[in-house]
Amino acid sequence: MEKPGVHPQPHPPHRRRRHPVRVWLQPFLIGLVIISAFVSCYVGLMRDPQPHRIPVAVTGPQLANKVQQALGDSIDVRRADSATEARDALRHRDIVAVLGTGPHGKGLKLDVASANGLSTTTAVTKLVTAYAHGANQHLSVSDIVPLSRYDARGLAGFYVSFGVTLSGFALAQNVVGLSSLLHLRHRFTLMAVFAAASGLVAAAIAGPILDAVPAPYLPLAFVLALLAAAAAFTTKMLATYVGPLGIPLATLLLLTVGNSTSGATVGTDLMPSGARTLSALLPPGAAVRAIADLSYFQSSHVLAPLATLILWAAGSAVLLAFRTTKQRPAAPAPPQPQTAPTPHLSGNDRPTPHRATTDDTPTTHWAGTDERHFAPGNGTTRHPAFTVPPKVPDTMLKASSDCA
């Protein structure tokens, strides 16, 4: 029952907590940026690829001048003294095609290397075919560096590098969540061992098992291990420096821009100048070029992409170690002796004691005097003038007043 005159207090209305707009707006915008970049890079680069100064060796000075005038900047004509020398350059990936006169000086002969990529080979063949048609000459085409039997479209290297990049990216995401559980050296060991294992496994599947990538096993495994390390350490480094935006930034840099400009689906000679520059600087493009060099071109230009992969992996690891070591918390200070709470005494004439604990005997310092006298039994020092008398019970005070 409610007491008369007492009204129950109403419960305050429950207010739903409103999250800031950025809590849901940030992931929404990040998703839109990633899908926009993905579609723009992949579909945009394949929408209308245009050849730009594709290196082609031409034998004979007269033929070289005619081809240069007819095809303009689409072809970078490189004069060759002999067909043998030009084909040797083609096998070492210094050029992408060789154009010369046919047998007995009749017609034209074009030698290509489909291992350079079907998009590049097709573009060169179309350009030279159009020139031969305009010159009323027959054109014969031969492929002297063909693709592997189980890689008819030349995309095996791209898919292998894409899978290894994705695995390194996914590992780094998990390592980000283990930062509070694993020491720095343990996280580094985890990423390094995983990179080596992923390189060995991916090279074994793409090479000896499926026979789609004809590169030597150990060099291929080394390239793929470097790619996995570059992806893992770069992702972890960006997450450490940038925070929650580091993972989306790594997605854009490695999985979207890096793979779309790698040169497998669209040859680098058919890309805009900016995309060609990114292709040479980012890990996926370097890995695709290294795989092609190891597989078809006698490792002629493999050092440059290897250097790119090593710089990404080692540079990201060094930056990550520097930032993590810099943020390491300092050693805790030694514990200080605890101070007992100050007793509260009512009244204006009573001083406030300040208790300080010593090593052996507790001592009470009474404000307002420097004289100290030892009071036996309690281990304290007090001034006699400030000794607090015992409090008289209220019942005795009342009885004395009644008697009066």
Tell me the pTM: 0.74
Spatial distance between the Cα atoms of 99 and 64, rounded to a whole number of angstroms: 9
Query: 380 vs 346, 355, 365, 368, CA distance in Å?
Result: 21, 10, 9, 17
Q: What is the pLDDT of residue 228?
A: 97
Query: Kind and range of the H or E element at 71?
Result: helix 61-71
Query: Residue 79: its pLDDT value, please?
Result: 92
pLDDT given at position 72 = 87
> Which amino acid is present at 62?
Q
Q: What is the pLDDT of residue 12?
A: 57
Asked whether the beta carbons of 188 and 317 are under 8 A apart, the reply is yes
Question: Mind listing the pLDDT tens digit of every residue in the chain (404 residues)?
Answer: 445 555 555 555 555 666 677 777 888 898 899 999 999 988 888 888 889 899 999 998 899 999 999 998 899 999 998 899 999 999 999 999 999 988 877 889 999 999 999 999 999 999 999 999 998 999 999 999 999 999 989 999 999 999 999 999 999 998 887 777 778 788 899 999 999 999 999 999 999 999 999 999 999 999 999 999 999 999 999 999 998 899 999 999 999 999 999 988 889 989 988 999 999 999 999 999 999 999 999 999 999 999 999 999 999 999 988 887 766 554 455 566 555 555 554 444 455 454 444 344 344 444 444 444 444 444 444 444 444 455 555 555 444 545 44
**Which residues have CB under 8 Å from 242's CB, separation 6+?**
249
Q: How many CA atoms lie within 13 A of 187 on its CB side?
A: 23
What lies within 8 Å, CB to CB, of 126 at 6+ separation is: none
pLDDT computed for residue 377 by the predictor: 46
Residue 390: predicted pLDDT: 54
Please state whether beta strands 380-382 and 373-375 pair in parallel, antiparallel, or not at all (unpaired). Answer: antiparallel
Hey, which residues does 78 pair with through a beta bridge?
A: 57
Q: Are 87 and 111 in contact (CB under 8 A)?
A: yes
The per-residue pLDDT for 333 is 53
Q: What is the pLDDT of residue 193?
A: 96
| Predicted local distance difference test score (pLDDT) of residue 18 | 64
pLDDT score, position 329: 52
